[in-house]
Amino acid sequence: MNKNRTGLKSLLEILMVSTRLGLTSFGGPVAHLGYFHDEYVRRRKWMDEKTYADLVALCQFLPGPASSQVGIGIGVMRAGVAGGIMAFLGFTLPSVIALIIFAILLQGINPAEAGWIHGLKIVAVAVVAHAVLGMAQKLVPDLPRKTLALFAIIATLLWQTAITQIAVILISGFIGFLLYKKHADNKEARMEFPISKGFAIGCLVLFFALLIILPILRELTALDWVALFDSFYRSGSLVFGGGHVVLPLLEREFVPTGWISEEAFLAGYGAAQAVPGPLFTFAAYLGAVMNGWQGGLLAAAAIFLPAFLLIVGTLPFWDTLRSNPKIKGALMGVNAAVVGILIAAFYHPIWTSSILEPADFAFAAILFSMLVYWKLPPWIIVVTGAIGGTILGSIV
């Protein structure tokens, strides 16, 4: 692996490469990791195969968007913290800008009356169904984890609060710790990262401090921008499983409180499938709908900040963490709960708000087949959904 370089030339190189990835990486987090591997490992040889695999493993264990955290980690390993920032900006800003523009264009439209928006909601049905199947096959292969997923479904649907989801994750993690604490593979090679442990600890302290301080500031100040930052930061801090799982957290933060309508929420979620880059940039759309482009940038910064603090804060300690079988067991339980939370979100609000007629279900089946069996690019699925929704709206 090449030596780390922190000069301006290296930072500009990281920004240019990550921006190109941010403009072309369609297909979700798994596809993003494939793009990263091709660009950073095969073509540029910034790291070897084993180092990349170990970095991916770490990011799968942390809450937040795994592909974004891998990109940040690669930038950090290449050029320190500044390199991580460049990698994050390049990969994320293209979709942030695209979704803010979409939110601005959506103003003045009644989402309930726009057929193409209903089509985007049906796209969300197909995309989340695909995510459910893929994650279930990988993360709940045995009976104990299937049972944990069922527990998460029931609890999340019957008690629809953010606290419920946190409790489900904690309980499932504890059960996973008890069941799988001896289920481990400790053959990983050592990795080195250009971050001091002191700086890493500072990032972790800031991560937890913001979780405590932001809700207090929200109550004391009653400022909209503080409330906005707190909601998105908390959502970004508590999500295990990637962008699709952040949906129920964000929906319950903003729809019941009246900050955004359910129709506009799901329309933006469908639009987020059309742009490359991480799905967490959906937050930029929500922020822009509520408070213009400034709100969009604030929301994007808030939801990604926990991911940045966690990856930078844990990199120097990863060798110790990943060799601990108890931690691995707890994470196996957490991942099973994530599948259950995702299934609950698939039912409500996605299914209940999108599949209203037999024709909607038929169209969702077509979109699902296009995505899963015909393996068409996501942007084609989105365009088809918008056109099909317009046609269905004119017929019904």
Mark residue 28 as left, alpha or beta (left: phi above 0; alpha: psi -120 to 50; beta: remaining): left
CB 307 within 8 A of CB 246: no
Residue 332 token pair = 């196996």
At residue 34, the pLDDT reads 76
Q: Where in the chain are the domains? A: 8-91, 117-182+193-393
- Which pLDDT tens digit goes with each residue over 167-182? 888 899 899 989 987 7
Q: Following DSSP, what letter does each residue of 42-72 receive, concatenated? A: IIS-SS-HHHHHHHHHHHHHSSS-HHHHHHH
Q: Report the chain's C-alpha Rg in angstroms.
A: 20
- Alpha carbon distance 51, 281 (integer Å): 27
Q: What is the pLDDT of residue 328?
A: 76
**What pLDDT sits at residue 240?**
63
The amino acid present at 168, given as its one-letter code, is V
Both tokens assigned to 21: 């990835």
Confidence grade of residue 265 (pLDDT, cut at 50, 70, 90): confident
Positive or negative, the Cα torsion across 212, 210, 251, 174? negative
Token digits for 27?
Answer: 């297909």
Query: Which band of pLDDT confidence, cut at 50, 70 and 90, is reported for residue 114?
Result: low
Q: In the predicted model, is pLDDT for residue 231 greater than 80?
A: yes
Q: Determine what percent of the chain is predicted with pLDDT higher than 70.
A: 87
Q: Position of tokens 């946190």?
A: 166
